[in-house]
Structure 1
Amino acid sequence: MVSTYAQGTFCHKPSTVSGGGKSEISKSLLNAIIYGSFFVDDFDKDIQATDEIINRDYSNRWKNPEEHNLVSRSLLSPQRTLGSAIKLLTPSSQYTDEYNNFVKSIPAHVKALVFYVKRFYRPERTNDNWKDYFSTDVINGRKGHELLFNNRKLSASYLRVGFATDNSWYLHKLRSDFIAAAKIQMEDDITASITIPVKNLKYVNPEYPNKSLKLTENCERKFFQRPDEAIHRGYDKETEADLSQNNNFCSNYEPLSPEDGKRLVEDAINFDLYTKPIRRLIVEGSKDESGYYFISPSHPRIVDGAPSKNPRYLQIRPDLVNPIDDYLADLGLRFSRRIPLSEAVHHPINAVLPGRRNNPPDKKNGIRGLSVYGPIHYQDLPELFMDFICSLTGKSPSTTGAGSEGALTKGPFNMLSPVTDLNNALLSYILTGYNAFSSAAGYVGTDSRFDHDISLLIPELWSRMDIKDRDPQKLIAEGSLEKVEDFEYNGKRILASRLGYRITENFTFSYLNSIFDEPQAVFTDKMLRPEKQDIEAFADGVNNIVEAQTRVALDYFADGSVDAAIPPLKALLHIMAYGNYEGKPVSHPDIRNMFEREYVLSSEWYKERLLHKQQIDIAFLEKSLQYLDDFMKLEVNQEYTTQLNLHQRKANLAAELEHVKSDNYLEFLEGTIGADLLFTKA
């Protein structure tokens, strides 16, 4: 049995550049998990070593024992969880050197065996005889290596997190009790949203401290997907299922003939790697005599002698194909929160997790590096919005090069001045108090390639973290986040503080144990601190970001739209362009205070936005009333006036208009973004 939490975590991925992993956040991790048997080396020796580890005294492991509870629980104690056991056998700066050396000396397969014992141990069932439940078969008179529990094979599961320099995979063993999170896809590329004060919403999760919340609505019926991982046969099961159907719209896939199909089928070993739907499609294609072509997810179109890196297809929204999942999620939440059928079930955003597309420098093609970010970063609002204003992307399969995608990544699609969207977005972040943690796609540093592995991992991690553990101030205080500091390189000041905070070894120790057997093996020190891979590339990458931010900010001065920016945004644009605002750098307390909710609520410019919103709503309702009056006056419409109960509707509309004209309505609007005074060029 698997326990589930009725109130899921809505992970929102805004302002994510091309190739940053927008679609991956919604894909099931089940597609990426690799399963196999678990093997021991020498069964008798390994069981003996496991027994010694289980019965060891762990009370003396702390470097500073006075800071910890000296009553140490035994490894198999019911009061110690599997996650706690994993922490116990993971090296940590909190442990003594002697204890860390002991932990490092444990062979990986023995440590995994300890976790299997912990996973299946039940005092009422196994007592001290847990060893009797584990065994191996005897093969040719010798004990085998495949571990059995109660004479049943144990399955081990592994997850790819990154690539070695020779393109081999970094596989990490998942916890023996790991179950991938169930996911409901809420959005993909285009989302409409509204910011609402908590006071105006009923039945929302009280565990979250946000005083305003953002509600979203998906605007797409079909998603324009680029299934990067489908190049690996059988890896992306969802894409292979989609592309095996009829009536697909696809681009940049190689048209395959029956002869191509026969060759794929004859390559039996590689053919068997595909999932069943694609195997069936290829077999049908190999037998087709009508002259039609077929496609395979692992065969992009050949362009200029090489496979295209931008294969695409239109995926029907999963909730339209399988609406039962959405219905059950709503129903479970309704039961959990005791929401009456007469009330709506709201799913506000719980976590803001934008993605980055990072690339190492490509001097041959004149592309500067962007891979200066660690796997996960947190940025305060000023630094975050410097990034959002610029929205720099590395070299992505969807683009012809690197550069800015425009404010909030909307450059090619925005018919308004970017300052309007930035005003609304920044104000929404300040009022809601959402904290943004960004994840890396592509590369971390010059050498560590991850593609979308971190993008897939993030929602699994965030859905398992307690709400209080997602608080950046807590993470900073406990050493799980470290600030990236400015530094000198070749006589020049490198403004690395623009990168904000990045996760540390302590973060992997404290939180990745909910997923992996060996959490601190997932990200090495050079991955957590990319400057250790190549300091020159790191410095130039930071300079690349700062220079691009300056270049983009100056455009707002050139067209005059900087004067239409709300004060916090105006200050940022000055700092990006000239390094200060009214003589104050971004670190100055007066600048930081401009990004606080209390500052906004008390400001005259915010009250002006609320008044503007009130006037817009009054004008709309008055226009609607006039329309109803004109409609009801016509003799030909009298029958419809009665049928549609328009007299009552008009009365309701008039009552609403009186409410909107009142001071109570302004109070109702407090905590929303109001309405922007749209900037237009003279």
Structure 2
Amino acid sequence: MDPKRSLGLGVSADDPAQRERILRYINLKLASMGLPYSDITDVTDIDIAHDLIENYKEKNRLLSTYLCPVDQRIQNFLERYLEDLKLDSTPELPKDTLILDRYGLARELSVPPDKNEFITDIISSYRVKQGVLNNPKNDRRTTKGSFHVAEGGLPVPFDKKSVPKQTFAILLEKSFSDAPDKLKILPFTSTQKEKANVFLSLLLRPIVVPEVPGYTPRKTMEVRFFAPGNLVSNLDFAESIFGNAGDPYLPEHDAALDPEHWTGHTGCVILAPHLTEVTKKEAGLPHVKYATDRQKAEGMCWESEEELYNDGSPFKLTARDESGVIVTLIADNYFGYTKKEVKTQIGYSANLLGLAEEEHAGGALAFPSFNLGTQFLPDTNMHFLHLEKDHRFGNFKAVLGDDFVEQKDGYGIDRNFNNIIYIPEDARIDLETQKAHWKLDGKKKSLRVLPDNIYVHPSGYKVRMEKHPASPAWRLVGTVAEGTFCHKPCTVSGGGKSEISKSISDAMTYGSVFIGDFKADMDKAEEIINYNYGERFKPEYRKTLKPGHTTRPLLSEERSLGSVIKLLSPSSNNTDEFNQWLAKIPLRVKALIFVVKRFYQPEWGKNWRDKFSVDIINSESGHVLKFENRELVGSYLKVGTDKNGSWVTNKL
């Protein structure tokens, strides 16, 4: 697939010469169909090519009953699928559509060449520097009652509305025959006296199976779009995502001639927003007294002849079977339905093909980050003693090559991004002094730590300064080098795929740090801080520790805030007695200990209690914790609300 023709890659959107070529090409296409073309653009080509155009029109007239290969496959399915209805004639796909055979035509057709806007009751389009800004009437969807599936093919899921095959046939016919003339007006000619009323068509070849070298070639399905002229911007949206697959009449675009790269499946999407005006009776639905229980429950019957199908709300109706052809009518101009339907059809193809994962899968590559407080200690934050031997400063050069620029004091700077600083394996970062410290040939070296910089350890562990979102305080944040691939396969819409990759920052709130009885909680915190943690491990785990291993005090410089959190969390390596002791520690006391660790300075010694206080309110101790007479700000995660609407939060 040519990326220039399919996605417009490498083509300048604001190149006047390119736009002029597109306008002239559009005029030629309209003239060759006998439709009005723009009279304010250069029409020299049309005058010169008059006889050629007339010749083309005559050949089209002689081939007026011919369908391109992909359309013929869809038409064959419709005739086979609707055969048992014994219809006088099977609804037919239109043969005289304006084919969008290269990327960019739909965008230029979305707005008249002599204006920068096109506005109707269902779409507002505006020409802007980046292209065209579209604002459809419906800019969001609801899944409630909008997904309908025709009977007679694959089973209809119980969360979808079951539609009689007869109704599908009627609505399919009305999609084309009952489209209002005003809906078929091409925006490109909307300011002219003579306007082009036409249906548009587009061919897509979305990927179902990506290429796996040596195992499987890339495989695509074919999807045909049909839409009345007003909705050309919707097709612009579709081709901008999936690419334009060219003219379906050309043999090089016939999927059946390239079976190695075709899944064997064909899709069709027909945009028909006017179907919301069809009554249930016109759609062939039964009167309520003849309806089944399911039809009554799903509203697929009528009492009054004026009742509209689906109560006049937007919907999409799909017919498909195991043969591999799927046809969907979309009674809406919501752009999201267009994208979602193609993805649904990709999933349909993947399920029939096998050895491919359906579209409804997703996730994120997550790199956990940790609040390190005011210090980064490599042997604590990164379990330095267990790092591989190649996680040394000297290995930066071997891995990064010329992108690593070594400095004389024993650190490095990235050649392309000067805010990325490579630090030695023994470097420590202290936020209070805002410096990184290490030794080079036995001499102490240091480097100023700045907010916009990222400091990278030889293992790939990254450290940066970050301002607290709700207070003037700063902290060090560490991010691990190897992420976790969080994958959610084979789920449904609303199954939580995108949520995996979304930040929970919107669910965070910030407020005071609360304490119970100040003296009692401080006494308990002091007891826990001074506890002897050397005996917490089970004997079998203690054997795995290095000879001479000693437990660092909780407030030691050698133990980070993250290490303290781990220390006070239950572990299978701990004895049962120690885990039971941990379970008895109130959460507010744990939070207090973490605060003490966050702010602790070695020069305080054992007098850390003097730094914390609460106000006296009505002759009693308050409950808002203060550090050096300044109220602290805590982070809380909102997890829901109670029956009264109050937030339920957890302290982080």
Question: TM-score when scaled to structure 1?
Answer: 0.23
Question: TM-score when scaled to structure 2?
Answer: 0.24
Q: Which has the higher contact order (CA 8 A, sep 6+)?
A: 1
Structure with a larger share of its residues in strand: 2
Structure with a larger share of its residues in helix: 1
